[in-house]
Chains A and B, each alone.
Chain A
Amino acid sequence: MLNFRLKKRIEDFALDVELSVNEELMVLFGPSGAGKTQILRMLSGIIKPDEGNIAIGAEPLFDSKANINVPIRQRQIGYVFQDYALFPHMTVFENIAYGINLKEPLLTQKVNELLGVMRLNGLEQRYPHELSGGQKQRTALARTLAAEPRLLLLDEPFSALDYQVREKLRADLLNIHRMFPITTILVTHDLEEAFMLGKRIAVINNGRIEQVGTREDVFYRPRTRNVARFIGVRNIFAGTVAGVDTEQVIINNPDIGTVKAFIPQGAALNIGQEVSFCIRPEEIIVIRPDKVLDNKKQDNILEGEIDSSIGKGSTHIMFLRVGEGDTLLKIELPNFVLRKLGLANGKRIRVSLKKENIWVIP
């Protein structure tokens, strides 16, 4: 169990975060410059926070009030740097063996074990400059795990790799985490990576934690507009509450019109309040042109003109102009749906925003 509270001011950037991490893989997700790497550097002891505390279990590593600051080398924290920081004058074997305090033959045995786990067999006599990106990354991870850290910090571990290698190594990382179930913090600005790896995700923006929660919480129930933006919700609109009952809310937006949605748990909404509401592009349903609608059953039907569309692999992104203003609704559809419905720029269509797919941010 890791608990920390960190405050640091670097020129006009102020970082202030507080977080608890169990024996799990926690993802720190946020845009570049949000302060994610700074958090890892403070946890490891490379930079000193201005104020705060860090503790693993009951053992304090840093406490500004009690004047505790455990030196880096005594923290037993593993850190995989973004550029791996492999020792260029040492072979793969020597890199991995560097942090192991064992005598031969146990040393070789342990290194060989890690070489096996990391699929590095046969590369032990190579130097870092003779390795591919993925091999370097696995060597760095092996070197870090060799020292048996109590906490593992991974700084954008896949950012320097090409797409296919990244996919494979993400799966590897999950396996390795099952084998070595230590508290792990992974920093990334990649949405897909955050979703794939993090059981729990902390969204960092501008030196603050905007939301911490399970991946489902963060992805489907963003608590702020920023979080909604970072997790790829492109349809975020402002509106005024026009009506509320125990579980539903009616929101007015000049372009979209009146939208009904469920009230998020724990939120108290009042008539006249300004709120945001959002819907993921892939959750907007296009209604077949010939379908007759029963107005009592169908809420949130919008009509608009297809403004433009972009192909994106197996799906298409369409922008639908609704209302009189500049409001564009982003819709993601599988290519076959697009073909079947004969959708093209300039065509008028109706879409449905299902109540359960709309998320309201007070």
Chain B
Amino acid sequence: MDLFPLYLTIKVSFIATIFTAISGFVLAWVMAKKEFFGKNFLDVLVMQPLVIPPTVLGYYLLSVFGKSSPLGAFLENNLGIEIVFTWKGAVMASIISSLPLFVKPARAALEGVGADLENAARLLGKTEFQIIRSITLPLAWRGLAAGAVMAFARATGEFGATLMIAGNIPGVTQTLPIAIYDAVQSGDDYTANILVGIITLFSFAVLYFAGRFARGRF
């Protein structure tokens, strides 16, 4: 049995989670700690992937990163990065669709770190960066970790948008969910059952551990 889809899914999800966590942390921090014009709009925008059909999301990604778009042309001609129909496209699809699942718990966790704790640190002469490192992160890390686990899980299950932007090229961009679809379509029940089993077990494990993380000590 070909285990490439499993390998690709883990690789894509892992890389996507790193990007999601970094950009999601910045977004969540800004939304939890700052008041600014357009905050509600930004919130709606970040949460869109939860409600928008994945194929529509994939279509947007295609139009933004396609070779005919300015960004896509720039990436390919100047940096040699091809997004469409490569595993990088799958990463991109996973980042966007998992972002809301990270940002929501991360924002709640960051908001849970009381403003006066951070003010106390400011009054003791600390910079914003020192405060994030010594106060905010240690107190919010459970929520952030739970968000990262959810994001990883969402990335492993990503189907619609990935199919649109990365395609279904066996051995190149065929991730686990797409391989399952393929197996079912071609009547290969044996492969489909194994892959479905793997994903199911994994999803249960993720929710179980995410729940344990989220229960804080403080």
Residues of A at the B interface (CB closer than 8 Å) are: 44-46, 71-79, 81, 83, 85, 87-89, 98-99, 101, 129, 143-144, 147
Across the interface, which residues of A come within 8 angstroms of B139, CB to CB? Answer: 88-89
In the complex the two chains form, is B123's CB within 8 Å of A78's CB? yes
In the complex the two chains form, is B124's CB within 8 Å of A87's CB? no
A interface SS class = loop
CA distance A211 to B125 in the complex (A): 34
Tell me the minimal C-beta distance from B152 to chain A in angstroms: 25
Most buried by A among B116, B134, B218: B116
Across the interface, which residues of B come within 8 angstroms of A85, CB to CB? Answer: 114, 116-117, 119-120
B125 interface neighbour in A44, A79, A147, Cβ under 8 Å: A147
Tell me the minimal C-beta distance from B145 to chain A in angstroms: 15
In the complex the two chains form, is A143's CB within 8 Å of B116's CB? no
Count how many chain B residues have C-beta atoms less than 8 Å from C-beta atoms of the other chain: 17
Across the interface, which residues of B come within 8 angstroms of A98, CB to CB? Answer: 121, 124, 134
In the complex the two chains form, is B121's CB within 8 Å of A79's CB? no
In the complex the two chains form, is B123's CB within 8 Å of A73's CB? yes
* Known A87-B135, A101-B125, A147-B125: A81·B120 in contact at CB below 8 Å: yes
14 A-B residue pairings within 8 Å (CB atoms): A71-B122, A72-B123, A73-B124, A74-B125, A77-B123, A79-B120, A81-B116, A81-B120, A85-B117, A85-B120, A98-B121, A99-B125, A143-B120, A143-B124
CA distance A81 to B138 in the complex (A): 21
Across the interface, which residues of B come within 8 angstroms of A129, CB to CB? Answer: 218
In the complex the two chains form, is A83's CB within 8 Å of B117's CB? no
In the complex the two chains form, is A89's CB within 8 Å of B114's CB? no
0/1 string, B49-82, CB within 8 A of A gives 1: 0000000000000000000000000000000000
Docked complex: B56-111 residues within 8 A CB-CB of A: none
B127 CB–A CB distance under 8 Å = yes
In the complex the two chains form, is A88's CB within 8 Å of B123's CB? no
CA distance A144 to B135 in the complex (A): 16
7 further A-B pairs in the complex, CB-CB below 8 A; given A72-B122, A73-B123, A85-B120: A79-B123, A81-B116, A87-B120, A89-B139, A99-B124, A143-B124, A147-B125
CA distance A180 to B190 in the complex (A): 79
Tell me the minimal C-beta distance from B134 to chain A in angstroms: 8
CA distance A2 to B123 in the complex (A): 17
Tell me the minimal C-beta distance from B135 to chain A in angstroms: 6
B126 CB–A CB distance under 8 Å = yes
4 closest A-B pairs (Cβ-Cβ)?
A: A99-B124, A72-B122, A85-B116, A85-B120
Shortest Cβ distance from A79 into B: residue:
B123
Across the interface, which residues of A come within 8 angstroms of B119, CB to CB? Answer: 44, 46, 72, 79, 81, 85
Shortest Cβ distance from B121 into A: residue:
A98
CA distance A45 to B127 in the complex (A): 14
In the complex the two chains form, is A73's CB within 8 Å of B116's CB? no
Shortest Cβ distance from B134 into A: residue:
A98
Across the interface, which residues of A come within 8 angstroms of B116, CB to CB? Answer: 81, 83, 85
